[in-house]
Chains A and B, each alone.
Chain A
Amino acid sequence: MIEITSMNDMWLTLLLTLDATLRLSTPLVLAAMAGLFSERSGVVDIGLEGKMLAACFASATIAHFTGSPWLALLAAVAVSLGLALVHGFATITHKGDQIVSGVALNILVSGLTIILGLTWFRQGGQTPALTGEGRFVTLDLPGSELLHSVPLLGPLYKELISGHNILVYLAFALVPLVWWVLFRTRFGLRLRAVGENPKAVDTAGISVNALRYKAVMIGGVLCGIAGTYIAIAHNAQFTRDMTAGAGYIALAALIFGKWRPLTVLVACLLFGFLQAFAMRIEGVDLPVIGSIPVQIIEAVPYILTVILLAGFIGKAIPPKAVGRPYVKER
């Protein structure tokens, strides 16, 4: 038997905290990438939260009735996409205020999920808890048991890299893909152009509205995956307002990462780590510092975002045309 030394203990604690970081960052990464597409095309998306929450509800419901996580994912993506289209209809077709539209969707969804939940399940707005079936289960990567006895790296592989569900791997694999699409494809170039100078894109004979619709729809799909992850991979049912501000934190990460995929990923990991850290140190007396109120650590993402936006640590410059509907000149 391996003797447990305090060194090993600390290593394990660190690994478990990082492991929780990955799990908590996953929805942030997905939602932030959704926001990235939308905002890079010039459409502000305050509605990340609402789309995710709707996806949570849809996936938990379908998973309950069919027992299939993949059907649940499909339904969640469809619902989230539908909301994204409403946002597009209001802000792209009808040039409505993008923030007002996002707020409307968030509020609408937070009420609607409860009413539908009450109607279908009569469990106070929740969906029934899922048993093993219907959830995305964790995948043990090959060799994790075999390598376990290797000092340091064994636990690293087993605890941190292996043992997540497929959506976690998907989320992190998505980031380089988003980077590639945005910076190495024609579509990406046009998307970025339409967020900076829609008139130039229009003059080149490319439809501004079509591009923006595409971006908003991609955002809808990604929020659908994020919601599915929260409801039936990270948890096992839908509960009231279960996204708990993740959409807004993703928005903060988007700003903090200055609308670039890789830095946004770092911001998501940082914010995820802060949440994991806050959970771990709750009520624990730390050496030298004593016990830190959890709330202070929870508040760090918001404080950082406010400070960054105010230009005190670097400057976050949004896409130039973000928030402004494009009106074609006649």
Chain B
Amino acid sequence: MSRDTRLAWINGLLLPLMNILTAFAATAILFLLINVNPIEAAKTLLYGAFGYGEGIGYTFYYTTNFIFTGLAVAIAFHAGLFNIGGEGQAYIGGLGAGLVVFMLFPGLSPWLMIPASIFGAMLFGGIWAMAPGYLQAYRGSHIVITTIMFNFLAATLMVYLLVKVLREPGKMTPQSVLFPDNAWLPFVHDVLPAFGIEMERSPLNLSIVLALVMAVLVWFFLWQTRWGYAIRATGRNASAAVYAGISQKKIIMVAMCISGALAGLVGINELLGYHHRIIMNFHIGYGFGGIAVALMGRNHPFGIVIAALLFGTLYQGGAELAFEWSNISRDIVVVMQGLVILFCGALEYMYKPWLVRWLAPVKEVQA
């Protein structure tokens, strides 16, 4: 094998694999530190996530959110942008979904109502991401700081709206009235019997189909279209892209807009799919989780779907762990996300010098 092929193997497979294993190993050590047998914990976790019908439903329900935010972070990454505003974009996306439902007349056919609401979620999420994009492209402000600020702005805005404007009359809880049922996205357990498959009740709804379609579309967009090529070119080498006639400003706006629109779809899964009203904090953790998902999935839609399934499994399984051990809660998943981001992101090349020296050393040139 030539040195170049070896290097490609190291970069493409060995390095990512070792990074993920390091994150897992660190989690296992944490389990030992808190007196939980990691093997037992893994068994409980898998049972919780896949051992019974309802658990499976929940697993895929969480997976759906992680696919949306993972794709959102990835598309920005491809343009060389770090969108850590997925959190706020998801929240505002939910607002858009709900507002469209409330604006349209309640008797509208679900075939019109649901697509309109999906469009609303994408529009609101997209705008919430495009504003920082615009500020970066045309005013030179740093996208990371602006998106952080927009996360906080989204949170305060939603508190205000849910407490003062959208709150169900006569109720104390800050949440909107129930959506009319023609805006409810069908549950999977209601759809599957039509195909002769029975499934236990769970929050899993047709958003998962939307998520998978989006994954395919993102793949197609990034690797098969002119715009996708321009985005990837900008991310790889911005100045080269400029010389090739690609407007960097336009690319930033487009990439952020799509990124925000994808994150906004979390609102569809959560609100149209399950809660059926606008509620507080339905989005918490998914925006940041998307960063871990994108890094683990190597920014490729296929990898993202797999990584999202892993985190969905952890999320649902984590709830099961909490029943078994009083000192574990779902926060263990947050710890894992942190470790994945640390080892697959920040410390991505930690093992590289060592691997290169071992597997693909530079040969001394013979004189």
Interface residues of chain A, those whose CB is within 8 Å of chain B, are: 46, 86, 89-91, 94-97, 99-101, 103-112, 114-116, 118-119, 122, 125, 245, 248, 251-252, 255, 293, 295-296, 298-299, 302-303, 305-306, 309-312, 318
Contacts and interface: CB of A to CB of B under 8 A. Distances in A.
Nearest to B139: A310
8 contacts: A104-B341, A105-B338, A107-B292, A110-B338, A125-B331, A296-B160, A302-B152, A302-B153
B98 to A, nearest CB: 18
A-B pairs, 4 with minimum CB distance: A108-B338, A111-B334, A101-B346, A309-B141
Interface of B: 30, 34-35, 82, 84, 135, 139-142, 144-146, 148-150, 152-153, 156-157, 159-160, 164, 288, 291-292, 295, 326-329, 331-339, 341-342, 345-350
Contacts of A122: 326-327
B148 A97 contact: no
Given A101-B347, A306-B153, A311-B139, 9 more contacts: A104-B339, A108-B339, A108-B342, A111-B335, A112-B30, A125-B329, A293-B160, A306-B150, A309-B146
Contact of A94 (B334, B335, B347): B347
B347 A90 contact: yes
Contacts of A248: 148-149, 152
A309 B152 contact: no
Nearest to B165: A293
Given A90-B347, A112-B335, A306-B146, A299 B342 contact: no
A115 B82 contact: no
Contact of B34 (A99, A119, A293): A119
Given A125-B331, A255-B145, A302-B153, A90 B346 contact: yes
B145 A94 contact: no
Contacts of B345: 96-97, 100-101, 104
Given A91-B346, A94-B349, A107-B341, A99 B152 contact: no
A310 B135 contact: yes
Contact of B329 (A46, A118, A255, A312): A118
A115 B328 contact: yes
Contacts of B338: 104-112
B327 A115 contact: yes
Nearest to B336: A111
Contacts of B341: 100, 103-104, 107-108
A324 to B, nearest CB: 13
A115 B149 contact: no
Given A104-B345, A116-B34, A119-B327, A99 B153 contact: no
A111 B332 contact: yes
B350 A305 contact: no
A306 B157 contact: no
A103 B291 CA distance: 9
A111 B284 CA distance: 13
B291 A115 contact: no
Contacts of B350: 94
A309 B148 CA distance: 13
B35 A299 contact: no
